[in-house]
A and B are shown apart, each in its own frame.
Chain A
Amino acid sequence: MASVSDNVMKFFRSSSNAAGPATPQKLSRRSSGMGEISRLLNSQEGLCVLDMGATSANNIRFFTGKGHKNYSEDLLRSSLDPALRMQDSEGKTVLDSKKFLDENLVYPNAHFDVVLCWNLPDYMEESLVKPTVDRLWSVMKPGGVLLAFFHTRDAGPDSTCYRYHATGTEMLDMQEVKFAAPGRPASEKVSPRLQRVFNNRHIENLFRDFASIKFFLARDSIREVLVVR
């Protein structure tokens, strides 16, 4: 039987780079979805913003500097907690989505005006994606907006997982995500692996409870989705 550590490693790319640069290189990309979110953040004050990427000082600086309240919650990292793994009736290792949502995204209903989901759905274990989106629907205010990025079919499984830093415009700074996998040495930083590719129908189903959905197809094999609760 595979160990917990082996099961966890399917979420990471095999090309670990322990000797990589201390500070990963920053790239940037134009984001139409972030452009719309930036206009909203620049024109209003006191919004509640949930950033679901890795902790970003840039984002906290930008959001709080505009007078918004910033909430950080790195759900990808939380989803890799070995304590979430359990055996189903057939002996397969599955994730306990109930436990996951008992420990994460615990907020009052209708709390957030803006949710930055980034590329989380593409890299998260599939059984957690729909429950997470359902929880997001609950904690977002009616009229609140959510931004998510989905890879298109052209992206390969070794597509780099990036974290995104807001700049206040439609440009986003990007930085490769690497962290120590549970059960592995802390010095062994690995990158998350793309778990699947959602097509338009899947994405529409995922957000079917939301009021509206808008797609932006970018050149870098990314489909941006702006959803209104």
Chain B
Amino acid sequence: MDAPQTGEFAHIGKSVVIKGELSGSEDLYVDGKVEGKIELRNHSLTVGPNGNVAADVSAKSVVIQGKLDGSVIASDRVELKKSAVVNGDVTTQRIAIEEGAFLKGKVDIQKESGKAAVPASV
């Protein structure tokens, strides 16, 4: 998956290093290095293939192609691409994991009230 080409999103390039707390009200694409915390509430986070995130993440949806160390809380869905390396617990309603992705941690599927959860898919 390439970086998003259209729409409103913030892009952290692969030469960028950020330490601290990141929050925002738009989608975020991280292909650089982030240490700290990422909070996007109703928006999505994509960790690109060069992305290296050492942070607890909270967002609506999270797509990971690179490396992430930290817990992930996604109110909607989490997607681990084949190159993803995730060390941390994942809490979400839906999760999709591609063949080859690496996950070390707990997966907790939180059921949305009134709906059955849709668990992992390939």
A→B interface (CB under 8 Å): 23, 54-55, 57-58, 60-61, 64-65, 69-74, 77-78
Contact = CB atoms under 8 A, between A and B. Distances in A.
B84 to A, nearest CB: 9
Interface in B80-122: 95-99, 101-109, 117, 119-122
A60 B99 CA distance: 13
Interface residues of B, number: 19
A60 B120 contact: yes
Contacts of B107: 60, 64, 69-72
A221 B53 CA distance: 44
A55 B108 contact: no
Contact of B122 (A54, A58, A65): A58
Contact of A57 (B96, B104, B105, B108): B96
A71 B99 contact: no
Given A23-B99, A55-B97, A55-B101, A61 B120 contact: yes
A60 B120 CA distance: 6
B105 A72 contact: yes
A73 B104 CA distance: 5
Contact of A71 (B97, B101, B105): B105
A64 B101 contact: no
B110 to A, nearest CB: 10
A77 B85 CA distance: 12
A68 to B, nearest CB: 9
B106 A71 contact: yes
